[in-house]
Homo-oligomer: A and B are copies of this chain.
Amino acid sequence: MESEAALGIESIDTPALVVDLDIMERNMKRMALRAEEAGVRLRPHVKTHKSPWIALKQLQYGAFGITVAKIGEAEVMRKHGITDILIAYPIVGEQKLRRLEKLAAHAEVTVALDSVEAARGISEVGRRLGKTMSLYIDVDTGLQRCGRQPGEETLQLARDIAKLPFVRITGLMTHAGHSYKADSQEERIRISRLEGALLAETKRLIEEKLGLDIPEISVGSTPTSFHCKEVEGITEIRPGTYVFNDATMVSLGLAGIVDCALTIHTTVVSRPSEDRAVIDAGSKTLSSDKGAYTEGYGCIRSAPQVRIDRLSEEHGVMLTAHDFPVSIGGRLEIIPNHVCPTVNLADELIGIRNGKVETVIPVEARGKNK
């Protein structure tokens, strides 16, 4: 029975980020099932939601640990009782190493890196704690961001790290972010197979040459997670976006509009001409990150043919026809192009179920870029 106290969505002031909890939970279950069927572990990247409340739900729905980018995010998640954390980012500098020391004293932390300089810092943290720290080597399988090249280059780094005390290489990881630019399922499968093969081959090389045991092969990105069953050797996936989905995922054919759990509720505030309407969500709300959705700055759920053509910080300028039915004060729901930076602009998410407000979810790890 519906609570009498439950508020309808019209009670929410705009712009607001609204999460349909049923859709979100279905997304969580599907990805957990996909991981289970593939025999891999699900370690979602929490950068998409930045909310301990949602991270705990992911763990409840089958995830076995989480991934974060920065120590600040790990600290927030640890405070809420989450103890198995991969920091998929090199930790450099004494201030951050001191914080890592505190964190690792009370949590199972793995750190990813791609240099011996970064590894030396972690080794020092291990020494201070009297504890062997777990490391992943970041391998570049095509994104050309961080990461050593597969094969000999990664072997050389593994050799250098193996000489350091208080650290152990427990895995190889990669993030095939270029899969967001793949324009067909075949291309995505090719990228997925390649990342798996490159990591597996590099793992064999290191194990053979250095006599080490590297248990984990960890791959990231929501698009390649869809193919984890078809790729040999993977032990762990780290998708993020799947929890909400977004217009990029829809444009890639990896989600339907009905699978998009997060929308931005906006109000039309100006109708300066027949061919233009302005909403109260600009780049400060939607972010100016376009992702792979090329039809504008977000997809209007009730009118996907209407283009959000330009953003200022507080204005979204839509190109409209003269008979566009929404007038000043009317509301629109927008699916963001790339949901992760959108969430990073918000202090809270409004959780709804069956059109009623159920909870307000603080984005507690928002802005934690240190």
Also in contact, A314 and B369, with CB within 8 A (given A96-B13, A289-B288, A341-B283): yes
Is there an interface contact between B317 and A145, defined as CB atoms closer than 8 Å?
Answer: yes
**Surface stretch bound by B, among A222-230, A244-252, A254-262, A342-350:** A342-350
Is there an interface contact between A93 and B267, defined as CB atoms closer than 8 Å?
Answer: yes
Interface centre among A140, A281, A288 (most CB of B within 10 A): A288
Is there an interface contact between A118 and B272, defined as CB atoms closer than 8 Å?
Answer: no
Q: Which of B90, B310, B314, B346 contacts A69 (CB 8 A)?
A: B314
A280 within 8 A of B: yes
Docked Cα-Cα span, A271 to B114, in Å, equals: 8
Docked Cα-Cα span, A96 to B144, in Å, equals: 46
Which B-chain residue is minimally distant from A90 (CB atoms)? B269
Q: Which of B14, B140, B370 contacts A14 (CB 8 A)?
A: B370
Is there an interface contact between B15 and A269, defined as CB atoms closer than 8 Å?
Answer: no
Also in contact, A270 and B344, with CB within 8 A (given A69-B314, A92-B328): no
Docked Cα-Cα span, A265 to B184, in Å, equals: 40
Is there an interface contact between A278 and B95, defined as CB atoms closer than 8 Å?
Answer: no
Copy total for this chain: 2
Also in contact, A146 and B270, with CB within 8 A (given A69-B313, A93-B329, A341-B288): yes
Interface size for chain A: under 10, 10 to 19, 20 to 34, or 35 or more residues? 35 or more
Is there an interface contact between A314 and B271, defined as CB atoms closer than 8 Å?
Answer: no
A147 within 8 A of B: yes
A328 to chain B: which residues have CB within 8 Å? 90, 92, 115, 117-118
Docked Cα-Cα span, A140 to B275, in Å, equals: 15
Is there an interface contact between B283 and A370, defined as CB atoms closer than 8 Å?
Answer: no
Q: Which of B15, B145, B270, B281 contacts A315 (CB 8 A)?
A: B145
A13 to chain B: which residues have CB within 8 Å? 93, 95-96, 370
Docked Cα-Cα span, A177 to B310, in Å, equals: 13
Q: Which of B267, B273, B317, B370 contacts A92 (CB 8 A)?
A: B267
A16 to chain B: which residues have CB within 8 Å? 370
Can you name 4 extra interface pairs (CB under 8 A) apart from A69-B313, A287-B288?
Answer: A89-B314, A93-B329, A313-B344, A347-B367
List 8 tightest A-B contacts by C-beta distance, closest first: A13-B95, A146-B270, A117-B328, A90-B269, A69-B314, A92-B269, A288-B289, A284-B369
User: Can you list 19 A-B contacts (CB < 8 A)?
Assistant: A13-B95, A13-B370, A15-B369, A69-B313, A89-B269, A92-B328, A93-B329, A114-B270, A115-B271, A115-B328, A118-B270, A140-B272, A144-B276, A146-B272, A146-B278, A146-B315, A281-B369, A288-B289, A345-B369
